[in-house]
């Protein structure tokens, strides 16, 4: 039987109802006790790492999880991580960058309804996660509502619906159908040595552009000590350059050594800084493209890259390097 480690971090799946709302309190052992059939599938060991609502997950917690995943690679055949859904995609991205060349499954899951509730989706999601962890598929994935989604392509797309996670600009890796793991496509087994690299720069901010946004809002971010700014731009990367012109802000960011990454407000499609005047002029002032990355993957990658270098040329080189299948250039 496969030996699977479950790392529990809290989230809705571990929640208890209180006067102030749902609060995570239950251990990993408790969660596993609700799916006794898992003992017929694999040998399970549980380790409680955190006990947090997903909203309270911080970059420092990604480091704790990455180290736990790295340390478990020799002893276990796979890892399941229970996690709050609201930031699960960010954590999946962080683990993908921080623990590279994984040759075993690392599966994140959780629930929209607490495990203690009779109509919980937690039992099915957790059981499916263990099935995926036993499948041997290498890398970081989210398993939710039967979907198997590559970590760096995942995004929560529904606040309460059970089919809450979707793959952004890539098809699902696979599915769990009637208890069987079905793989649509799988990346080649990585050949390099397992690498733990948890360097992060937390001083990164993300701004969603609105029509009429004042340049001083962006100017203030440049002067507050941020090393990276992600602009959720219009369409395929449009940055206003008339009226309330943001181009002087981009020029100042370049002068101050602040990396500016252009993402899109559209859920699907990709950033192309060569199409329109409002794209090209921004690119000429040093703005970089997020290509077809999800906003989660782009944000976490910029934090990870800036943890390695502050040189803007090197930042660009690393952002344009695909490390774990996070983007595809068009």
**Residues involved in catalysis:** 12
| Residue 182 burial by Cβ neighbours in a 10 Å radius (0-12, 13-18, 19+) | middle
Rounded Cα distance, 153 and 141, in Å: 9
* Torsion, CA 177, CA 179, CA 180, CA 183, rounded to 10: 50
Q: Say how many CA atoms lie within 13 Å of 133 toward its Cβ.
A: 31
Strand partners, 280: none
Which whole-number Å values give the CA distances from 27 to 13, 20, 279, in the listed order? 10, 20, 49
Please answer whether residues 249 and 201 qualify as being in contact, where contact means their C-beta atoms are separated by less than 8 angstroms.
Answer: no
Rounded Cα distance, 10 and 157, in Å: 20
**Contacts (Cβ under 8 Å, ≥6 apart) of 108:** 80, 81, 82, 83, 88, 91, 92, 95, 129, 140, 141, 142, 143, 151
């Amino acid at each position: 039987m496969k030996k699977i480690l479950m790392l529990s971090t809290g989230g809705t799946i571990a929640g208890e109802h209180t006067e102030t709302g749902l609060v995570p309190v239950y251990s990993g052992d408790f969660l596993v006790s609700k799916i006794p059939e898992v003992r017929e599938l694999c040998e399970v060991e549980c380790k409680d790492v955190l006990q947090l609502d997903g909203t309270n997950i911080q970059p420092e917690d990604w480091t704790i999880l990455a180290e736990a995943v790295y340390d478990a690679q020799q002893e276990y055949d796979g890892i399941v991580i229970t996690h709050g859904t609201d930031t699960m995609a960010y954590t999946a991205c962080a683990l993908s960058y921080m623990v590279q060349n994984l040759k075993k499954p690392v599966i994140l899951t959780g629930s929209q309804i607490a495990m203690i509730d009779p109509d919980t989706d937690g039992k099915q999601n957790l059981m499916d996660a263990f099935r995926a962890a036993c499948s041997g598929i290498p890398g970081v994935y989210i398993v939710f509502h039967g979907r198997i989604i590559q970590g760096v392509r995942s995004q929560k797309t529904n606040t309460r619906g059970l089919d809450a996670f979707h793959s952004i600009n890539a098809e699902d890796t696979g599915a769990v159908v009637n208890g069987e793991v079905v793989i649509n496509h799988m990346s080649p087994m990585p050949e390099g040595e397992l690498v733990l690299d948890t360097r992060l720069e937390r001083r990164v901010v993300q701004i969603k552009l609105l029509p009429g946004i004042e340049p001083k809002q962006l100017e203030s971010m440049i002067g507050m000590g941020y090393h990276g700014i992600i602009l959720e731009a219009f369409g395929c990367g449009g940055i206003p350059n008339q009226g309330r012109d943001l181009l002087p802000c981009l020029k100042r960011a370049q002068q101050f050594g602040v990396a500016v990454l252009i993402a899109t407000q559209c859920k699907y499609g990709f950033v192309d800084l060569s199409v329109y005047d409002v794209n090209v002029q921004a690119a000429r002032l040093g703005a970089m493209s997020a290509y077809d990355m999800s906003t989660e993957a782009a944000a976490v990658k910029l934090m990870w890259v800036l943890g390695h270098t502050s040189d803007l040329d090197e930042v660009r080189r690393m952002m344009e390097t695909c490390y774990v299948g996070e983007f595809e250039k068009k």
